[in-house]
C-alpha cells in the first residue's frame, strides 16, 4: 500500500513521466493466486526504478567535481594558520589571567626598585656596539631617490628587497680612505631611537631604557652616544666629531645633574670604543680632546661593560676570510651555490665581503694578544673546556650552586680528546690531531712575498673581493700552512686582504706592550687595545665586566679550499663536514667554547679577572674591577619572548638581573654593595694559565 501511495505522489508531481508507466502497470490481468501474490513485489520494483530515474538527474546537479589543489591554496592555508596562531598567542598574553601556572611574568625591575625607594642619582650614558646602531642617508646616488634621512640600517630593511645593490653601495666606505665615497653621506641616527630596536619587535636597548625610565630617568639624565660603527674609532672624530660631542654631553650632564658623576654602559664593540675615548679625552689636541689628567676621575663614576670584546672575537677572522660564520657555513653546505650562485645572480657572500672589507671597525675585533692570550699550536687557556649537552650544562650549574665547583660534572662528561683551540684556522680536520712537530707551517715572510705577485689585470669586471686580484696558485699557498695561531693570523689577513689591513692597521694594534711608558704608545692606534694602554688615573672609578656564559661560542675553524675556480668566487670556506666526537666541541667545522654566543669568556673576562685586577701596569691607579656573569637560561615558552634570564650577547640587555645591576649602580650603589664578583665560568683558571707580565 505504501508503494502505491509513493507511486501516486510521483505521478502527481511528474504526470508526463508517469502516465505511460501507470498504464503499463495495470494493463495485465491478474487471474491466479501466484500472480496476485507477486503483484505487490512487481509494483514495488517498478516504483523503485521510477524513483531512480527521477532522482538521477537531480543527483547529477548536486554532485561536484573535487577542486584541484594548487600551490596558492597551500600558501593561503599556511598564512591562515600563522595568523590564527598569532592571534591565539595575543589572546593568551592579554586576556588569560596572569596568575595561571606558567604565565606569570616577573615584575619589571624598575617597578620593584622604585617601590623600594630607588631614584635617579647619576646620569647614564649608553654606548652601542657594532651593527646595532641605526644609519640614515643624507646624500646618495640617483638610485637612492626618495631615501633622504631614511634608515638604511636598523629598521624595516625594506630597501634590501627593493634595491639591494644600491643599498650595499651606500653602506660601503671608500676602500682607500675608510671614509665616505664621493657623493654618498650616511650618518648615525641620533638620540635614544638610534639603538633601542634593531628591527621592529627586536629590542636592543629598549628594555633597559624603559626600566631606567620607570625609576625616573629621561633624556636630561640619559643619553645614547650614537656613532657610525663602520668607521675606525679615530675617524668617528675626524669626520663626525663624535668623541667631542660625547665629551661635551658628559660634561653637561655632570653639571646639570648636581655635579653627579656619570655611569657609562657600553656594549660589545662599544666597550673598546669607549676605552679609546678614555685615552682620547685626556690626550692633548689636536689628536686628543684636551681634557687633561683627572678628567675621567672627575666625570665618571663607573663603566658597566656588557658583553665586552676587550681581546677580540675569532668570528671576525671568519668574516674577513670568507664572509661567513657557523650559521652561514651550515646554509652553504645544505644548499651549495645558493648564496654565491652566478646563475641566479645572488652572489650574496661576495657582496657581503666587498662591503664589510671597507669597514675598518671589523679589524678592531680581530683577536688581540697573540699566542699569549689565545694559545699556540699545542695549548690554550680553555684547555679543560668541556662541550656539554643540555643535561650536562644543567648538572654543571647545579653543581656550582650547591658545591661551589663543577669537578664531578666535568668528570662525568669528560671528552677523551682535548681540542687545540690555539689553532684558530686549520686546513683539514686531521691537522687538528697532529702534534705541532708534524705540521707544515709556512714562514710569514714567504707568505707575504707571495702577496707581492698579484694579478694586476682581472677579467672579472668589477672586483667583488680582493681575492679576484690573486692568482689561484697564490690562494693555494694559504692552505699549505696547516694551521694559523692568533700571531700568524695577522700575516694571513695581510695576504688575503692587503688593502683592508693596510688601511685599518693605521688605526688599530693587536699586540702586548713591553713598556707602556714608551712614547709610541701615545699614538691613537693603541688606545683601544687594553694590553697596550693604561687606564686613567681614577682610583674611585669602578669597572664591571658583565656578560653571559653557558652558550657555545665560536673559537676556531676548520677551513678548506673551495672547488670553484670562477671569477668573483670566495676560494676559502669553512668545512662544514668536520665534526668531532659525539659530545665534542667541533661541529660543522667550528670549535666551540663557553661564552655568550659571540664573545668567548677569555675575551670578555680576562681584563677584569687579571689584567686590571688590583694595581697592575695596565691599571696603575688600582681601579676596582668586578666580574658579573649571567648563567644563560633559555625561555621556557614562547610567552617569555627572548627570556628574562638570557645570557646571549644582545638578549642579555633584557636580563632582569643585569638590569637591576645597572639601576642600582645608577642609583648610587657600589660594586661591593652588589655583592662583588659573580662567577659561573672557569675565567679565573683560564686567567691563571695566561702568562703575562703585570
Cα separation, 543 vs 611, in Å, equals: 12
Residues assigned a catalytic role: 268, 596, 649
Residue of 308, 304, 305, 270 whose CA lies nearest to 601: 308
Buried b (16+ CB within 10 A) or exposed e, 361-371: bbbbbbbbbbe
The three grid cell numbers given for residue 484, joined into one nine-digit string: 694559523
Cα separation, 196 vs 212, in Å, equals: 13
CA distances from 583 to 397, 413, 418, 423, 587 (A): 18, 8, 12, 20, 10
Cα separation, 266 vs 597, in Å, equals: 18
Q: Which residues on adjacent β-strands are paired with residue 483?
A: 426
Cα separation, 211 vs 22, in Å, equals: 92
The three grid cell numbers given for residue 526, joined into one nine-digit string: 693603541
Q: Which residues on adjacent β-strands are paired with residue 423?
A: none
DSSP H stretches of helix in 189-232: 206-214
Cα separation, 367 vs 510, in Å, equals: 7
Q: Which residues contact 585 (CB under 8 A, 6 or more apart)?
A: 385, 387, 415, 419, 552, 555, 591, 592, 593
The three grid cell numbers given for residue 611, joined into one nine-digit string: 689584567
DSSP 484: E
Cα separation, 376 vs 196, in Å, equals: 40
The answer to whether 348 touches 339, Cβ cutoff 8 Å, is yes
Amino acid at each position: 500500500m505504501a508503494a502505491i501511495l509513493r507511486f501516486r505522489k510521483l505521478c502527481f508531481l511528474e504526470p508526463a513521466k508517469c502516465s505511460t508507466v501507470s498504464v503499463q502497470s495495470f494493463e495485465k490481468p491478474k487471474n491466479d493466486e501466484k500472480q496476485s501474490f507477486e503483484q505487490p513485489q512487481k509494483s514495488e520494483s517498478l516504483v523503485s526504478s521510477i524513483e531512480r530515474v527521477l532522482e538521477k538527474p537531480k543527483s547529477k546537479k548536486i554532485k561536484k567535481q573535487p577542486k584541484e589543489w594548487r600551490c596558492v591554496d597551500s600558501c593561503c592555508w599556511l598564512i591562515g594558520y600563522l595568523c590564527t596562531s598569532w592571534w591565539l598567542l595575543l589572546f593568551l598574553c592579554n586576556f588569560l589571567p596572569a596568575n595561571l601556572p606558567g604565565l606569570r611574568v616577573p615584575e619589571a625591575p624598575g617597578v620593584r626598585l622604585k617601590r623600594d625607594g630607588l631614584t635617579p642619582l647619576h646620569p647614564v650614558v649608553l654606548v652601542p656596539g657594532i651593527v646595532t646602531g641605526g644609519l640614515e642617508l643624507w646624500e646618495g646616488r640617483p638610485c637612492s631617490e626618495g631615501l633622504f634621512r631614511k634608515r638604511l640600517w636598523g629598521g624595516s630593511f625594506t630597501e634590501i628587497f627593493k634595491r639591494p645593490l644600491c643599498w650595499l653601495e651606500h653602506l660601503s666606505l671608500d676602500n682607500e680612505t675608510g671614509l665616505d665615497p664621493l657623493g654618498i653621506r650616511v650618518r648615525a641616527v641620533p638620540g635614544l631611537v638610534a639603538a633601542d630596536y634593531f628591527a621592529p619587535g627586536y629590542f636592543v636597548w629598549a628594555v633597559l631604557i624603559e626600566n631606567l625610565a620607570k625609576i625616573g630617568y629621561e633624556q636630561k639624565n640619559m643619553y645614547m652616544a650614537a656613532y657610525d660603527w663602520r668607521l675606525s674609532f679615530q675617524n668617528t672624530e675626524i669626520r663626525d666629531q663624535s668623541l667631542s660631542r660625547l665629551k661635551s654631553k658628559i660634561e653637561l650632564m655632570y653639571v646639570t645633574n648636581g655635579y653627579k658623576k656619570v655611569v657609562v654602559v657600553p656594549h660589545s664593540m662599544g666597550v673598546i670604543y669607549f676605552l679609546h675615548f678614555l685615552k682620547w679625552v685626556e690626550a692633548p689636541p689636536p689628536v686628543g680632546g684636551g681634557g687633561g689628567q683627572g678628567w675621567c676621575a672627575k666625570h665618571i663614576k663607573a663603566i658597566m661593560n656588557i658583553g665586552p670584546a676587550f681581546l677580540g672575537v675569532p668570528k671576525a677572522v671568519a668574516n674577513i676570510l670568507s664572509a661567513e660564520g657557523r650559521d652561514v657555513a651550515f646554509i652553504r653546505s645544505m644548499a651549495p651555490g645558493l648564496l654565491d650562485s652566478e646563475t641566479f645572480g645572488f652572489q650574496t657572500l661576495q657582496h657581503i665581503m666587498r662591503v664589510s672589507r671597507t669597514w675598518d671597525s671589523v679589524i678592531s675585533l680581530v683577536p688581540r694578544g697573540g699566542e699569549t692570550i689565545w694559545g699556540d699550536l699545542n695549548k690554550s687557556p680553555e684547555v679543560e673546556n668541556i662541550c656539554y649537552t643540555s643535561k650536562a650544562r644543567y648538572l654543571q650549574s647545579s653543581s656550582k650552586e650547591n658545591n661551589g665547583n663543577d669537578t664531578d660534572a666535568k668528570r662525568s662528561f669528560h671528552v677523551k680528546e682535548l681540542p687545540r683551540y690555539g689553532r684558530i684556522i686549520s686546513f683539514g680536520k686531521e691537522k687538528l690531531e697532529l702534534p705541532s712537530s708534524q705540521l707544515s707551517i709556512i714562514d710569514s715572510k714567504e707568505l707575504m712575498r707571495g702577496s707581492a705577485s698579484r694579478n694586476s689585470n682581472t677579467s672579472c669586471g668589477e672586483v667583488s673581493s680582493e681575492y679576484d686580484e690573486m692568482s689561484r696558485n697564490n690562494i693555494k699557498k694559504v692552505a699549505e700552512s696547516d694551521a694559523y695561531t692568533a700571531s700568524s693570523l695577522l700575516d694571513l689577513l695581510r695576504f688575503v686582504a692587503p688593502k683592508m689591513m693596510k688601511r685599518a692597521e693605521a688605526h688599530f694594534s693587536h699586540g702586548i706592550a713591553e713598556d707602556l711608558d714608551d712614547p709610541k704608545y701615545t699614538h691613537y692606534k693603541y688606545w683601544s687595545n687594553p694590553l697596550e694602554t693604561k687606564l686613567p688615573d681614577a682610583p674611585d672609578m669602578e669597572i664591571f665586566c658583565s656578560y653571559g656564559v653557558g652558550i657555545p661560542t665560536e673559537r676556531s675553524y676548520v677551513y678548506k679550499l673551495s672547488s670553484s675556480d670562477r671569477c668573483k668566487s670566495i676560494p676559502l670556506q669553512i668545512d662544514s663536514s668536520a665534526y668531532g666526537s659525539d659530545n665534542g666541541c667541533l661541529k660543522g667545522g667550528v670549535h666551540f667554547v663557553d661564552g655568550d654566543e659571540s664573545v668567548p669568556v677569555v675575551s670578555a673576562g680576562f681584563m677584569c679577572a687579571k689584567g686590571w685586577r688590583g694595581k697592575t701596569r695596565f691599571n696603575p691607579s688600582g681601579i676596582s674591577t668586578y666580574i658579573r656573569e649571567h648563567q644563560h637560561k633559555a625561555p621556557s615558552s614562547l610567552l617569555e619572548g627572548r627570556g628574562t634570564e638570557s645570557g646571549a650577547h644582545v638578549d642579555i640587555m633584557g636580563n632582569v638581573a643585569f638590569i637591576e645591576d645597572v639601576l642600582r649602580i645608577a642609583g648610587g650603589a657600589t660594586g661591593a654593595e652588589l655583592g662583588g664578583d659573580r662567577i659561573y665560568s672557569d675565567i679565573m683558571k683560564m686567567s691563571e694559565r695566561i702568562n703575562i707580565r703585570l
